[in-house]
Structure 1
Amino acid sequence: MTTTEMPAVSECTVTACSYNDHEGCHAFAITVSGSNGAADCGTFIPLSAKGGLPMIVSQVGACTRADCMHNQHLECTADAVRVGPGDADHAANCLTYTAR
């Protein structure tokens, strides 16, 4: 898989993340991680300072949720992913996660 084949983060509605700007992710790539049924965005950073690149379409760089139907060899094969607020301790979740 090359960087041009990596799935894009098509939407991120987690406005508390430093990489979020106008419901878009500006990190070069995110990592999807998590446990206990949650597919967390491991790149979520809740700082007041904004980060990331101004003109970027973020991508999924890695996914440790091997139990997701889109995961092959710890890489995401979805066409695109959406990230949104999670429940309780999970501030940012991959909404595209689908258990096998």
Structure 2
Amino acid sequence: MSTPDLAPRRTIAGVVAIWVLAAVAGVAIGLFAPAPWRAQWVAVALGGCVIVAFAVQLWYGRSQAFIQRMALSSAGALVVLAVITLGFGLASLVSG
């Protein structure tokens, strides 16, 4: 039996940090990657976000709700990248 943490760390900060990382990566891809290669770079960025999310959640050292935090981090990064990609796609239709 383990003793409970007296003041456990907030775990939502790690989840939101992954979402911010996904937003920064999505904007960087939209600005710097050529249009035909954006989809491939978004997939790479999502994979990187999942790996970083795994590292961040392991760093917290809490086993309670690990799967839920990983799922929330990964799904949130997917949604953030999808919205940014949709925005750049619509912008290319309007300007193109």
Higher relative contact order (CA 8 A, sep 6+): 2
| Greater percentage in helix | 2
| Greater percentage in strand | 1
Question: Which structure has the greater CA radius of gyration?
Answer: 2
